[in-house]
Amino acid sequence: MKFSERINCCSQSPMRKFHSDAELAKSRGIKIYQLNIGQPDILTPQSYFEVICNSIQPTLAYAPSPGIPALVSKMIRYYKELGVDYTPDDVLITAGGSEALSILMNCILDPGSEVIIPEPFYPNYHAFIETAGGVIRPLSTKVEEGYAYADKDKLETLINPNTRAILFTNPGNPTGVVLSEPQMRVIADVAKEHGLFVIGDEVYREFVYGGEQLLTIGMYEDIAENAVVIDSVSKRFSACGARIGALITKNKELRKNALKLCQSRLSVATQNQIAAAALYDLKQDYFSDARNEYKLRRDTIYRRLLAMSGVVCSEPKGAFYVMAKLPVDNTDTFQKWLLTDFQFNGATIMVAPGAGFYATPGMGMDEVRLAYVLCVEEIETAMDVLEAGMKVYNQNQN
Ligand SMILES: Cc1ncc(COP(=O)(O)O)c(C=O)c1O
């Protein structure tokens, strides 16, 4: 039997590929500090579970394919507070931002179509784009330049007749880059001038640490036809398991086509939508508490990385990741060794090797992404483990 070329091209997620080595290390009694995945440890608001418990229905029916009106209207209210007016016809509820991306790519890509993405980028974009027949056209960025990418010339040199969209994550996973309004305008103008979709993956919107205003690509009325926002409750409310997200666009044609796919998968989980709607009633201090906690973690991990000999990184301004260049030749081999051959006071560490965050072959081999999703004390210990690991690894290599 044969598998599709599209699925054969899909590679394993760099965040999860060492799972079996980690299980073996755990079975040997080793504690693992997991900085490899963006699973926050911040508590999910209690109101989510209360609503689930209180919404008992005689029959658990399918929800409407575009999403339940109560959740759609809460999202519209949320965007109104950001200064953007949407109507219920602009919002499609999806199973996380992941499904929104998958539906979107299936709507806008043909075989060989290209999507421009600044690299390093969220590795699952590969799967969403390539299983829809598309190709990632990376805009390479450098740690030494703070991973900057909002540059008209750099974007325009990548545009060709196959280009369909520009996709960026803001705040950035894995770089922590946060775009300023003028930088967003640059990208919006390029998309407008060349008739491209401009996709803002904004699932980390609230996580900015320098007092930046919360922005969205949906705020520009002159590119309303081009703009698509990918949203999610996963990170915003520390509710990754709720699997609730949204595809938001004022482009009627896109909406009409995306709805076909929403209808073919019938519905997003009814109870989860009802409970997610309640999350939008949380007060602002929920976000300020979470933001303060992540800022402490960001400051801790960045200070520790900077103090390590040979490590290069740029201060992340948002999301909860930092990309770092390590003084090791291959972070994939290094990660495997950390799990199979190393321990420091009975512990080791998991990070996400950098190569999977790039589309350009050979890039990111000496980089890792670290997710600062552990408390400050654990981050301190994890950094002790990383520092010791690099020393021993490099001694063994010489
Ligand atoms: C940049 C980015 N986009 C989208 C997602 C998808 O998240 P979810 O499907 O949980 O909404 C993630 C998850 O980590 C992410 O980091």
Q: Which residues of the chain have pLDDT under 50?
A: none
- How many whole angstroms from 169 Cα to the centroid of ligand 1? 10
- CATH: 1.10.600.10, 3.50.50.60, 3.40.630.30, 3.90.1150.10. Which one for 5-43+285-397? 3.90.1150.10
- Would you state the pLDDT for residue 39? 84
Is residue 351 within 8 A of residue 331, CB to CB? The reply is yes
Q: With CA atoms as reference, report the closest residue to 209 among 118, 279, 287.
A: 287
Which CATH code fits 46-279?
3.40.640.10
Pocket test for ligand 1, best of 104, 115, 124 (most atoms within 8 A of CB): 124
In the chain, where does the domain assigned CATH 3.90.1150.10 lie? 5-43+285-397
- How many whole angstroms from 325 Cα to the centroid of ligand 1? 23
- Would you state the pLDDT for residue 40? 84
- What phi, psi does 245 have (nearest 5°)? -145, -165
- Would you state the pLDDT for residue 38? 82
Contacts of 356 (CB under 8 A, 6+ apart): 11, 13, 14, 15, 17, 123, 364
- What phi, psi does 369 have (nearest 5°)? -110, 130
- Would you state the pLDDT for residue 17? 82
Q: With CA atoms as reference, report the closest residue to 335 among 348, 318, 322, 321.
A: 348
- Ligand 1 pocket member 173 (CB < 6 A): yes
Measure the CA–CA gap between 339 and 342, rounded to whole angstroms: 6
User: Other C-beta atoms within 10 Å of 47: how many?
Assistant: 15
Measure the CA–CA gap between 110 and 18, rounded to whole angstroms: 33
The amino acid present at 143, given as its one-letter code, is V
- How many whole angstroms from 159 Cα to the centroid of ligand 1? 26
Measure the CA–CA gap between 163 and 42, rounded to whole angstroms: 39
- How many whole angstroms from 170 Cα to the centroid of ligand 1? 12
In the chain, where does the domain assigned CATH 3.40.640.10 lie? 46-279
- How many whole angstroms from 97 Cα to the centroid of ligand 1? 6
- Ligand 1 pocket member 201 (CB < 6 A): yes
- How many whole angstroms from 59 Cα to the centroid of ligand 1? 31
- Ligand 1 pocket member 38 (CB < 6 A): yes
Measure the CA–CA gap between 133 and 377, rounded to whole angstroms: 45
Is residue 48 within 8 A of residue 239, CB to CB? The reply is yes
Single pTM value for the model: 0.95
- Ligand 1 pocket member 102 (CB < 6 A): no
Residue nearest to atom 14 of ligand 1 (CA): 38
- Ligand 1 pocket member 169 (CB < 6 A): yes
Measure the CA–CA gap between 140 and 92, rounded to whole angstroms: 32
How do residues 185-205 score in pLDDT, each as one tens digit? 999 999 999 999 999 999 999
- Would you state the pLDDT for residue 9? 81
- How many whole angstroms from 346 Cα to the centroid of ligand 1? 32
Q: With CA atoms as reference, report the closest residue to 220 among 192, 179, 257.
A: 192
- How many whole angstroms from 234 Cα to the centroid of ligand 1? 7
Residue nearest to atom 13 of ligand 1 (CA): 38
Contacts of 208 (CB under 8 A, 6+ apart): 171, 178, 214, 291, 317, 318
- Ligand 1 pocket member 318 (CB < 6 A): no
How do residues 25-79 score in pLDDT, each as one tens digit? 999 999 999 999 888 888 999 999 999 999 888 999 999 999 999 999 999 999 9
Contacts of 246 (CB under 8 A, 6+ apart): 67, 75, 91, 92, 93, 94, 97, 100, 229, 230, 231, 232
User: Other C-beta atoms within 10 Å of 165: how many?
Assistant: 23
- Ligand 1 pocket member 251 (CB < 6 A): no
Ligand 1 atom nearest 245 alpha carbon: 11
Is residue 317 within 8 A of residue 212, CB to CB? The reply is yes
Strand ordering across the sheet containing 114-119:
91-94, 245-249, 227-232, 197-201, 163-169, 114-119, 135-140
- Would you state the pLDDT for residue 71? 98
- Would you state the pLDDT for residue 81? 94
**Residues, the chain, total?**
398
Q: Given the structure tokens 């080791």, which residue do they identify?
A: 348
Instruction: Say what angle helices 331-340 and 19-27 make with each other, to 10 degrees.
Output: 20
- How many whole angstroms from 60 Cα to the centroid of ligand 1? 27
